[in-house]
A and B are shown apart, each in its own frame.
Chain A
Amino acid sequence: MNDIIKLLWIDDNLFHDLTEKRMALYMEDDIEPHFATDATDAFYRLRSEPFDVVIVDLRLPPGPDDMWETYRASNFQKYGYALLCTVLGEQKENFDHLKGTRFGVFTIEAQEENPELFDEPIRLAEKNFKMKTHAYHENAFIDFIRHVYKSWR
């Protein structure tokens, strides 16, 4: 029996142009997909349960919680990055249950535009970064998730 990958995919376009990819994930036998559409929703999902793989879009809306006030004040746009910094840095002690979780980034921006992702506290593996393109079809995305699952942060 294959391992089941418990996945959290955080992206505000999940209910728009990513619906096919989302449905394809439901049909996979070895993936148990969960979704969040803003940083607040994702924060609370990550607080309450463990996941094997977390895929984050960098340009996320913040959602309703006040915890993002400091980012809001400086007109910050990349709440995906803010979320990763919070979970893996500032509030690390509240997320002990995510020690085995592998993180990936799936975003419209190029890798070169986000060098901070590969430094502390996130230390993302370069292979766990994937740029969104129109030509990126469902099977390739599912392979990317499996690849992230097999990687180590």
Chain B
Amino acid sequence: MALTLLFQHSNWLSQEWLATAAGIAITFVVFIMGVPALIFQTFIAGSLRDVYNERLGKGWSRLFFVQLFLIVVLFVLGNSGFDDWLFPPSTHKFLPWVVLLVLLVVLGLGLFSLIKNFRSSRNLEQQLAQKIAKDAVRHFKKHHTVPQKDLEDLGILARELRSGRVKNDFLEQCEYLVEFLLKVPQKQRDHSLIGEILTNAVCLSVTYDGAQFNQENMRKALDILSFTCSHTQHHSAGDTSDSYLNTTIGNCMREIGIQAMLKADQRPVVMDALEHLSAIEATSKEMFILGNEALRHGQVQPAVAVISKLGGKVRSTLAPEAEVEEEDRRTFYFWLGLVAKVHQMGGSARQFALRRMQTTLPQFNDAPDVLRALSREAQQHFYKMADFDTADAVRALGNTGG
């Protein structure tokens, strides 16, 4: 109706000219911007669509508004009175060229957007992770904190991304963010924020129930956790926040190890998790849990590795006459608990357990009573934790004279 009125006005260009311009504009809006935009949305996994539109979809809408504005300009230029005002006296010499130029700009922008979107559709997830990490870093530089929204979006990506390269790219962005946060001066460093990223993004990406991940992803997650721990250990004051981060990292590594144990093709990662765990202080409980869990799943090798690693600590800290620190005492309990569980298996496993008792605690050869007392303490410790199975195993080991 509006178009018809405009066509009837003497000051407007011919019907054909304006109809062509309107036709091109409408076709453009529908086919060059609209349909590809809809198709493009199908490239993005449903669960990531909201995050994508919020983080990376703004460019499209900005471009769309620019084009709509140019289309309006096109209509305005259709008025010959405008030509009279712009290029007096009214010769209609330049107007067709200006209209043509605007039309070409509109089409060119549309084509540019189309090519750019389809070219970049290969690494959508990587772009998304990169954008979130960069936004978080930018926000931290200004306000010394990372918005909750960024953390939530990282959590969504951690749960939803496919295994393999896509997930590793995401983990690399998490690593970039964590490294940045570790490097900020001690006063501004927020260990609870780093812990949150490690738990809700890095660890979750390889432990979440429905998440897809492979060995490579699990190793990458372990490397990030391990690096964070080492970096904190060597570049901080050693206060309680360090201890919080160590506990968080220990828990994450334990979870990754347990998750790896549940799938046959990921079992080698258990040994990797153990190795990283053993480098962190006060993680004997986590190591015991992993070793014990391995035995429950019929795998002896991780338990042997734990016995070897905890045994080294026990050997260097336990002496019959010396005062033993609480943490070292706990390490002994967990070591003995696992040795007792292996002993319970009988056969060669029993032989291994007895041999380890002799080689790890030779200092108690002349003090069997002290060792018996420690063994009773260990039994009590497991009883209090309602781990009756291990408590019984420790008692049985004591009864055999081990």
Contacts and interface: CB of A to CB of B under 8 A. Distances in A.
Contacts, number: 67
Nearest to B227: A64
Nearest to B274: A35
A64 B226 CA distance: 10
A121 interface: no
A52 to B, nearest CB: 11
B304 A32 contact: no
Contacts of B301: 23, 26
Q: How large is the interface on A (under 10, 10 to 19, 20 to 34, 35 or more residues)?
A: 20 to 34
Contacts of B231: 44, 65
Contacts of B352: 27
Given A4-B315, A15-B272, A33 B226 contact: no
Contact of B304 (A26, A63, A64): A26
A34 B315 contact: no
Given A26-B305, A32-B311, A41-B230, A64 B278 contact: no
A6 B179 CA distance: 31
A34 B223 contact: no
Interface string B54-95: 000000000000000000000000000000000000000000
A38 B355 CA distance: 33
Contacts of B271: 15, 19, 22
B275 interface: yes
B268 A27 contact: no
B312 A63 contact: no
Nearest to B275: A35
**A27, A36, A41 — most chain B CB neighbours (10 Å):** A41
A48 B234 contact: yes
Interface string A1-29: 10010100000000100010011001101
A36 B272 CA distance: 9
B246 to A, nearest CB: 13
Nearest to A41: B226
B305 A64 contact: no
Nearest to B352: A27
Contacts of B278: 34
Contacts of B305: 26
Interface string B300-322: 01001100110110010000000
B234 A4 contact: no
Contact of B227 (A15, A26, A65): A65
21 contacts: A1-B362, A4-B315, A15-B219, A23-B304, A26-B304, A26-B305, A29-B359, A32-B308, A34-B309, A40-B227, A41-B223, A41-B226, A44-B230, A44-B234, A45-B279, A48-B230, A48-B234, A63-B227, A64-B179, A65-B227, A65-B231
Interface of A: 1, 4, 6, 15, 19, 22-23, 26-27, 29-30, 32-38, 40-41, 44-45, 47-48, 63-65
